[in-house]
């Protein structure tokens, strides 16, 4: 699952690396579109993850007649959402950068990239739903294979389509986006083949439509609360992008490069949480509450330890790490201080991710969502105030650190209170 989820992060890292070869402005402009990319890579997975959780709970409760309808409903929901998102982003691709306050030249880079990458969200939606089928059956190695192929293809395709190598056209920024779309699609074909030809999963079974209607509610019961929080986080990041863009290319570049570097910490936190979600769902469906709690504690220890140690390495070797993207000393200086803040922030973010997902999985998602909405929307005026006071990008990151810390501690307290016990999303758990 780690290697699978690294696909999105490595793809973004690779795209930024090749964009930085064009210019810091190109890399920064596309990098500041991160909130838009989150809509596909952060919100869509909440629904596919919800389908995984529901299917796993049905398996744990030995209600296997509900499993295939759950998978199929998950595919339809995710594909529809991915398609709608693709249409919306493609339609607005030429204006997105300007809406965020970019200059005409910065918007040009952003428009070139987004007009192509928009179509990737269709693939992301359907691919994630197929990956969730394999995840619910704990066949995560198959997802890993698709992820490895995707990443291996993306790097040479980036180079070939950016520079016009061999038989490929020279497409620059558009070529980097197209390489991502092609590599993701090939990865999906691998998952499609495994599900339908190796596992022989057949969705054309009698009465599947009526059974789907029964399982849609549990999926949405997890998926909607799970999506509301990252949606609010995405809106918050639109504000962050707007404020950082107003600070100029140097701040934009430092922010972009640091976010590409620390993606591995966020990925580890999400992967451990997703793996824990599957295990906790099985244990919850079987009524094994002690194992649910043990899984939570183990994930919390591993994810926070990894985040701190990994960021400490980045801080100690910041010149080498940031030098992968740029030689500009001012970008490297600002990037160093952002990494110092991230050293404190990422362990709390790991706890926050685990706490929110765990509560949603056990049917206590309303509390986590309310807290998330209150703090994320409440942080927006604080960010604007910090910007108006001239605190710059460092002040913005300190505000985000405070937000992650407070929400993580609240979610942790809620879990330890045990008020979630006795709740499930499918009912009739043993």
**Extents of the domains making up the chain:** 2-417
3-state helix, strand, coil in the chain (%, to 5): 85, 0, 15
- The dihedral through the CA atoms of 222, 225, 230, 235 has a sign that is positive
Does 430 score more than 50 pLDDT? no
Tell me what the mean pLDDT of segment 103-114 comes to. Answer: 93
Choose among 148, 331, 366: nearest CA to 247: 331
Predicted confidence (pLDDT) at residue 369 exceeds the cutoff of 60:
yes
Compute the average pLDDT of residues 365-379.
79
- For the segment 364-382, the average pLDDT, to the nearest whole number, is 80
User: Over pLDDT 90: what percentage of the chain?
Assistant: 33
Report residue 425's pLDDT band, with 50, 70 and 90 as the boundaries. low
The predicted structure's pLDDT at residue 28? 92
Give percent of the chain with pLDDT exceeding 70. Answer: 93
**Residue 428 pLDDT class (50, 70, 90 cuts):** very low
pLDDT of 424 reads: 55
pTM of the model: 0.76
pLDDT digits (tens, 9 = 90+) for 12-32: 888 888 999 899 999 999 989
Within 152-252, strands assigned E span none
Q: Which pLDDT score is estimated for 133?
A: 82
CB-CB neighbours of 21 under 10 Å: 14
> In Å, how far from its chain's centre is CA 362?
21
Q: Could you tell me the pLDDT band of residue 365, with boundaries at 50, 70 and 90?
A: low
Q: Is the pLDDT of residue 278 over 90?
A: no
Region of poorest pLDDT, from 22-26, 30-34, 156-160, 224-228: 224-228
**What mean pLDDT do residues 283-294 have?**
78
Query: Which range is least confidently modeled, 208-212, 277-281, 289-293, 397-401?
Result: 208-212
Q: What was the pLDDT predicted at 7?
A: 66
Task: Kindly indicate the confidence band of residue 308, based on its pLDDT and cuts at 50, 70 and 90.
Answer: very high
For the segment 180-210, what is each residue's pLDDT rounded down to a tens digit? Answer: 999 999 999 999 999 888 888 887 777 677 7
Between residues 111 and 220, the one the model is more confident about: 111
Measured CA distances, 146 to 136, 153, 203, 249 (Å)? 16, 11, 22, 36
Tokens describing residue 153: 């293809």
pLDDT at 121 over 60: yes
pLDDT band at residue 379 under the 50/70/90 scheme: confident
The mean pLDDT of 387-398, rounded to a whole number, is 90
Instruction: State the Cα–Cα distance between residues 40 and 295, nearest whole angstrom.
Output: 28
The yes-or-no verdict on residue 111 having pLDDT over 50 is yes
Question: What is the DSSP secondary-structure string of 84-149?
Answer: HHHHHHHHHTTTHHHHTT--HHHHHHHHHHHHHHTTHHHHHHHHHHHHHHHHHTT-HHHHHHHHHH
Q: How confident is the model at residue 283 (pLDDT cuts 50, 70, 90)?
A: confident
Residue of 373, 364, 361 whose CA lies nearest to 407: 373
Work out the mean pLDDT of the chain and round it to a whole number: 85
Torsion of CA 211, 65, 221, 146, to 10 degrees: -110
Residue 227 pLDDT > 80: no
pLDDT at residue 421, as a whole number: 67
């Amino acid at each position: 699952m780690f290697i699978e989820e690294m696909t999105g992060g490595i793809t973004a890292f690779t795209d930024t690396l090749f964009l930085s070869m064009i210019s810091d402005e190109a890399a920064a402009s596309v990098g500041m579109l991160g909130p838009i990319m989150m809509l596909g890579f952060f919100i869509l997975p909440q629904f596919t993850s919800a389908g995984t959780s529901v299917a796993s709970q049905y398996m744990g409760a030995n209600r296997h007649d509900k499993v295939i309808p759950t998978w199929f409903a998950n595919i339809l929901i995710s594909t529809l959402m991915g398609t709608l998102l693709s249409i919306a982003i493609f339609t607005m691709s030429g204006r997105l950068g300007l809406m965020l306050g970019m200059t005409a030249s910065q918007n040009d880079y952003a428009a070139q990239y987004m007009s192509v990458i928009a179509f990737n969200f269709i693939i992301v939606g359907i691919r994630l739903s197929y990956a969730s089928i394999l995840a619910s059956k704990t066949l995560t190695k198959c997802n890993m294979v698709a992820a490895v192929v995707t990443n291996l293809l993306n790097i040479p395709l980036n180079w070939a389509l950016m520079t016009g190598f061999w038989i490929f056209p020279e497409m620059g920024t558009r070529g980097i986006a197209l390489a991502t779309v092609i590599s993701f699609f090939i990865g999906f074909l691998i998952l499609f083949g495994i599900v339908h030809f190796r596992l022989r999963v057949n969705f054309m079974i009698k009465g599947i439509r009526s059974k789907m209607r029964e399982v849609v509610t549990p999926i949405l019961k997890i998926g909607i609360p799970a999506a509301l929080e990252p949606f609010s986080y995405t809106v918050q990041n639109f504000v962050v992008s707007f404020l950082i863009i107003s600070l100029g290319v140097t701040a934009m570049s430092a922010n972009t490069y640091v976010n590409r570097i620390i993606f591995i910490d966020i990925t580890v936190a999400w992967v451990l949480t997703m793996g824990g979600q599957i295990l906790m769902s099985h244990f919850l469906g079987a009524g094994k509450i002690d194992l649910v709690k043990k899984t939570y504690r183990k994930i919390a220890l591993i994810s926070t330890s990894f985040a701190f140690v990994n960021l400490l390495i980045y801080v100690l070797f910041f010149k080498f790490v940031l030098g992968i993207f740029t030689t500009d000393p001012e970008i490297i200086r600002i990037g160093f201080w952002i990494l110092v803040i991230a050293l404190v922030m990422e362990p709390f973010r790991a706890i926050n991710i685990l706490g929110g997902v765990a509560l949603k999985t056990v049917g206590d998602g309303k509390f986590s969502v309310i807290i998330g909405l209150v703090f994320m929307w409440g942080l927006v005026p604080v960010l604007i105030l910090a910007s108006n006071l001239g605190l710059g990008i460092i002040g913005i990151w300190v505000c985000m650190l405070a937000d992650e810390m407070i929400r993580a501690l609240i979610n942790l307290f809620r879990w330890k209170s045990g008020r979630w016990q006795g709740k499930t999303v499918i009912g009739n758990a043993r």
